Amino acid sequence: MKFVDLIKPTAVKVVSATSSKKRLLHDVSDLAESAYGLSAPRILEALMEREALGPTGVGHGVALPHARINGVEEVTGVFILLERPIDFDSVDRQPVDIVFGLFAPEEAGVEHLKALALVSRSLRNPGLCAKLRANPVPTTLYTILTAAEAEKAA
């Protein structure tokens, strides 16, 4: 599995300001709807249910909200870079500015876990996160995300 299989250029966005974690999850849901035609209310509900189990802020300014959702055909993702970090109840209590939302079919066991592992492993790389933070243009962010794997493979 590769980033290019998870995300398309229209699923990358820079958000100048968001007021809260809940508002950010709305933004993630709306982006999933516009990029993939998924139901924003259904996505939001699933993300809120998942967050109730435990926060998906993984530390170092990164959050990986994710959910299995009835009606989703394949594992897909959205990426949001926040110009101003917000509190996300992260494990390290640091505010979040890099958000990768991941959505999978309800029955997608291994594929969902592989995608989550790929995104988590990639966004733990401080160099990659620094590049993302330094380039607040959606097309550039998409290129950075998809090129990171190509560099590792070379």
Q: Is 66 a catalytic residue?
A: yes
Q: Is 85 exposed, middle or buried (0-12, 13-18, 19+ CB in 10 A)?
A: middle
How far apart are the C-alpha atoms of 123 and 148, rounded to whole Å? Answer: 10
Give me the residue label for tokens 């959606």.
138
Report yes or no: 120 and 58 within 8 Å, Cβ to Cβ: yes
Active site positions, annotated = 66
